[in-house]
Amino acid sequence: MLLLAGVVWVLAYAVNGRVWDAVLTGALGLDGEDRVTESVRFFLYDTVKIALLLAGIIFLVTFGRSYLSVERTRALLGGRREGVGNVLAAGLGVVTPFCSCSAVPAFIGFVSAGVPIGVTLSFLIASPLVNEVAIGLLVSMFGVRIALLYVAAGLVVAVVAGWTLGRLGVQRWVEPFVFETRLHGEVIDQSLGLTAQQRVQIAAEEVRTILRKIWPYLLVGIALGALIHGWAPQDLFTRYAGAGNPFAVLVAVGIGVPLYSNAAGIMPLVQALHEKGLPMGTLLAFLMSVVALSLPELILLRRVLKPPLLGAFVAVTAAGIVAVGYLFNAVLS
Amino acid sequence: MIIKVLGPGCANCQNLEKAVRGALAGLGRVGMEATVEKVTDYAAIAGYGVMSTPALVIDDTVVLAGRVPTVAQVRELLMAPTPTRKA
């Protein structure tokens, strides 16, 4: 069954481009050079390609992650000092199975187990910022080098931002009930006691759940990408947001922070903008600001963080992303 | 039997509650009596040692956390003589 799914996946991925060419220019007799045809082709090709990549990535990542858990991560982080703790927390934030919808109980659980607040924040920043779907899509669209730069940059932002916030003496800006919470239940580690077959089932179920949840974002992102690909004048974006504009990264992050989407929805846009000549640093900063900071997560975190700390959390993370954008623009060009 | 569904009201928490009610409806015929409570307070959720929602608590023991089980899995958990902490 698994083998069959794998073979179908590889075949579908391999013939994706050719099928749409055959359908559009062959069967329907459309002009391949025409803008509309070109945009439609981009849309169809990218929809199938990204859906396939997503299914593959989510399946593999979920299967691998089923051997890890937030509980185990907390045990690894308990009693760590700041510094080393921040680095470890950021790294574990990338690989631990974690949904930002659980940010609040995880925050309370970490802090009441003695994990320093700055270290906990490094975990909470790295988890959405270094996104496994983004890594997979970046590899397939821009190559391994860009994907590695993205991972490294995300880790550095998470480490530095968490460490900085920890240094600010943020204890007083955490809601007091967090420190009063006593753990009385027995901890359950969901990574234990599963058979390989159960893990495969969980991974397949996750693919279905995620695709069902994000397809609107995906289609909007790909449609925007297709529009830009076919219709935006070559110099439209480079004129305003190209390497010549020193504020481009700042503006990209300013747009990205309030924008709520996910890595899969934003990637076709990044790809189309890259084709139009926008520098990679600006685009990576845009991508990171979209996935790292989202209003729903901030509203959740408000339950445990008082406004000054929440503000500092956003400011420090955004500043880190902006710095990464400028650094990459300088290094990559 | 007191069943608690731990979660702040997210979609998955509602799905878990649905699965629990489904399992109970199926078990109603064998005469199992249970009340289902929802725990939405973060301090209370964290107090159970739960760090990923939704979670299921049966008679004050956490039996499942971080994912939505199928109706059949919940039924198994409910039927277990003493709640086992795996599934």
Chain B residue set in contact with A, beta carbons under 8 Å: 8, 10, 12, 42-43, 45-53, 55, 57, 60-67, 85-87
Between residues B26 and A163, which one has the greater pLDDT? A163
CB contact under 8 A, B46 and A99: no
Does residue B87 have a pLDDT over 50?
Answer: no
Residues of B in contact with A178 (CB under 8 A): 43
Listed range (A19-23, A50-54, A228-232, B82-86) with the worst mean pLDDT: B82-86
Residue to mutate among B5, B16, B51, with most A CBs inside 10 A, is: B51
Whether A39 shows a pLDDT value over 60: the answer reads: yes
Query: What is the C-alpha separation between A156 and B63, in angstroms, rounded?
Result: 37
pLDDT attached to residue B66 = 82
pLDDT tens digit string along A192-223? 778 888 899 889 988 998 898 889 989 999 99
Of the listed ranges A73-82, A183-192, B8-17, B68-77, the least confidently predicted one is A183-192
pLDDT in tens, A155-185: 999 999 999 999 888 888 999 888 887 776 6
CB contact under 8 A, B60 and A185: yes
What is the band of A333 on the pLDDT scale with cuts at 50, 70, 90? low
Enter the DSSP assignment of A26.
I
Instruction: Considering only the beta carbons, identify the residue of B8, B51, B67 that sits closest to A71.
Output: B51
With CA atoms as reference, the chain A residue closest to B13 would be A101
Q: Using one digit for the tens of pLDDT, what is the confidence trace for A117-143?
A: 999 999 999 999 999 889 999 999 899
Q: Which positions in chain A touch B65 (Cβ < 8 Å)?
A: 188, 190
**pLDDT higher than threshold 80 for residue A323:** yes
Which site among A68, A76, A188 would you substitute to test the B interface, given the most B Cβ atoms closer than 10 Å to its Cβ?
Answer: A188
Q: Regarding predicted confidence, which is higher, B81 or A60?
A: A60
| ipTM at complex level | 0.79
- Judging contacts by C-beta atoms under 8 Å, the chain A residues touching residue B48 are 183-185
Structure tokens at A8: 């179908």
Chain A residue with CA closest to B40: the answer is A105
Range of lowest pLDDT (A51-55, A162-166, A293-297): A293-297
Q: How far is A102 from chain B (nearest CA, A)?
A: 5
Q: Which residues of B touch A198 (CB under 8 A)?
A: none
**Which pLDDT belongs to residue B29?**
56
Query: Cβ of A105 and B86 within 8 Å?
Result: no
Tell me if B61 and A70 make a contact (CB, 8 A cut-off). Answer: no
CATH numbers and ranges of domains, chain B: 2-79 (3.40.30.10)
The predicted pLDDT at position B85 comes to 45
Residues of chain B found within 8 Å of residue A104, distances taken between Cβ atoms: 8, 42, 46
Chain B positions touching A78 (Cβ under 8 A) are none
pLDDT tens readout for residues A88-121? 999 999 999 888 778 898 999 899 888 999 999 9
Nearest to A113 by CA among A59, A142, A158, A74: A74
The string of pLDDT tens digits covering residues B31-82 is: 567 888 899 888 888 888 888 888 999 888 888 888 888 888 888 888 876 5
Q: Could you give the CA distance from residue A57 to residue A137 in angstroms, rounded to a whole number?
A: 9
Encode pLDDT of A4-30 as tens digits: 888 988 888 888 888 888 888 777 777
Nearest to A106 among B52, B67, B85 (CB): B52
Instruction: Give the whole-number percent of chain A exceeding pLDDT 70.
Output: 98
Model confidence at A316, in pLDDT bands (50, 70, 90)? very high
On whether the CB atoms of residues A20 and A45 are closer than 8 A, the answer is yes
CA-to-CA distance for B64 and B49, rounded, in angstroms?
Answer: 12
Distances (CA, A) of A95 to A126, A174, B66: 10, 26, 16
CA distance A107 to chain B (A): 8
Residue corresponding to tokens 């040692």: B49
**Inter-chain residue contact B43 with A304, CB threshold 8 Å:** no
Instruction: Mention every residue, 6+ apart, whose C-beta is less than 8 A from residue A133.
Output: A54, A57, A58, A61, A262, A263, A264
Write down the pLDDT at residue B9.
78
B66 contacts A70? CB cut-off 8 A: yes
Q: What integer pLDDT is reported at residue B82 of this predicted model?
A: 58
Q: Confirm if A189 and A71 have CB atoms less than 8 A apart.
A: yes
pLDDT level of residue A187 (50, 70, 90 thresholds): low
Average pLDDT over all residues of chain A:
88
Q: Which residues of A touch B45 (CB under 8 A)?
A: 105
Distance between CA atoms of B20 and A142, rounded to whole angstroms?
45
pLDDT at residue A311 tops 90: yes
pLDDT at A87 over 50: yes
Q: Produce one character per residue of A288-326: b if its CB has 16 or more CB atoms within 10 Å, e if not.
A: bbbbbbbeebbebbebbbeeebbebbeebbbebbbbbbb
pTM here? 0.86
Q: What is the band of A61 on the pLDDT scale with cuts at 50, 70, 90? A: very high
